[in-house]
Amino acid sequence: MRRPIVVGNWKMNTLLSEASQLVAKLRDNLAGVTEVEVGVCPPFVYLPAVNEALKGSNIGLGAQNVYFQEKGAFTGEVSAAMLKDVGCKYVIIGHSERRTIMAENDDIINKKLKAVLGKGLIPIFCIGETLEQRQEGITERIIRSQIDAGLDGITSDDIAKTVIAYEPVWAIGTGKNATPQQAQEVHLFIRKLIAHITSDIIARDIQIIYGGSVKAENAQDILSQSDIDGALVGGASLDAEAFTRIVQSAKR
Ligand code: PEP
């Protein structure tokens, strides 16, 4: 049975005092929640402080990005070992904002996935089509190519440890979310792709989550779909009450 998971992507938001207040509220609100796996991904600079604030809670720490090299002359970059060292459990990889704004391609994403899995961290591997691609009717083709390229050369055992986030680009930060049916269709398609490249058992057990304007108000409808195992939440994760309601909606 797959455990639902809800992860907050804070993006480039919060100052230290705001991050601390947000974590304190989440700790209180989510203290008794065990049925849902919960994570928060603050900006790099607040990872140690948030890690400290999360100690003894049931909320895992995640990073929003990583570099694939082990160490060396890569000014401004952060390695998987460093993220592990400061308490991270999750790392978001392949977010559409990084694919578009930072020009990250499938090859870089594949290297990042390998680096993160190599250090025993859990990648949250983001894929999704643009509005133009959906309108052209090539959503499945895009998803298939992102899965094939992103997971190229990764063992089935490691794929099983990966969380896949389906995030239609047109739904991220736009207030437009995919309908529950649209999201369910793509999630099922992803699960079938995973079955094809690994096994039916891995496909049955892998967590596939939805991201794209998930709010307290629409979470229940989206998260009740059979192949949707939780959410990657951007904007609404900055509001402790909204994020808490989303987590509550993920209970099965
Ligand atoms: C995200 O950043 O992954 C995301 C889904 O953002 P939002 O919830 O704001 O659309």
Domains of the chain, first to last? 5-249 (3.20.20.70)
- Could you read off the pLDDT of 7-53 as tens digits, one per residue? 999 999 999 999 999 999 999 999 999 999 999 999 999 999 999 99
pLDDT interval class at 190 (50, 70, 90): very high
Q: What is the pLDDT of residue 244?
A: 98
Q: What is the pLDDT of residue 175?
A: 85
User: Catalytic annotation on 187?
Assistant: no
pLDDT interval class at 223 (50, 70, 90): very high
Backbone φ, ψ for residue 14 (5° rounding): 80, 145
Average pLDDT, the chain: 97
pLDDT at 177 over 90: no
The residue with tokens 């978001």 is: 92
CA distance 58 to 36: 9
What atom of ligand 1 comes closest to residue 95's alpha carbon? 3
Q: What is the pTM of this model?
A: 0.97
Q: What is the pLDDT of residue 134?
A: 96
What atom of ligand 1 comes closest to residue 231's alpha carbon? 5
b/e map 64-74, b = 16+ CB within 10 Å: bbbbbeeeeee
The residue with tokens 């994403």 is: 109
Q: Which residues, including other chains, have CB under 8 Å from residue 157's CB and lie 6 or more apart?
A: none
- Could you read off the pLDDT of 132-156 as tens digits, one per residue? 999 999 999 999 999 999 999 999 9
Given the residues 97, 104, 167, 187, the one annotated as active site: 167
* 59-63 vs 37-41, strand pairing mode: parallel
CA distance 58 to 54: 8
The proportion of the chain whose per-residue pLDDT surpasses 90, expressed as a percent, equals 96
Q: What is the pLDDT of residue 176?
A: 84
Backbone φ, ψ for residue 209 (5° rounding): -115, 160
Distance of CA 167 to the CA centre of its chain: 9
Distance 205 CA to ligand 1 centre (A): 24
Report whether residue 167 contacts ligand 1, using a CB cutoff of 6 Å: yes
Amino acid at 125: F
Do residues 246 and 216 make contact, with C-beta atoms less than 8 angstroms apart? yes
Given the residues 95, 97, 104, 129, the one annotated as active site: 95
Q: Return the best residue to mutate from 177, 214, 237 for the ligand 1 pocket (most ligand atoms within 8 A of CB).
A: 214
Distance 73 CA to ligand 1 centre (A): 32
- Could you read off the pLDDT of 95-121 as tens digits, one per residue? 999 999 999 999 999 999 999 999 999
What atom of ligand 1 comes closest to residue 215's alpha carbon? 8
User: Catalytic annotation on 196?
Assistant: no
Distance 231 CA to ligand 1 centre (A): 9
End-to-end CA distance of the chain: 10
Nearest residue (by CA) to ligand 1, atom 6, is: 234
- Using DSSP's 3-state secondary structure scheme, residue 207 falls into coil
The residue that leads in pLDDT, 175 or 131, is 131
pLDDT at 173 over 90: no
Distance 161 CA to ligand 1 centre (A): 22
Distance 28 CA to ligand 1 centre (A): 24
pLDDT at 64 over 90: yes
The proportion of the chain whose per-residue pLDDT surpasses 70, expressed as a percent, equals 100
Nearest to 193 by CA among 141, 130, 121, 248: 141
Q: What is the pLDDT of residue 230?
A: 98
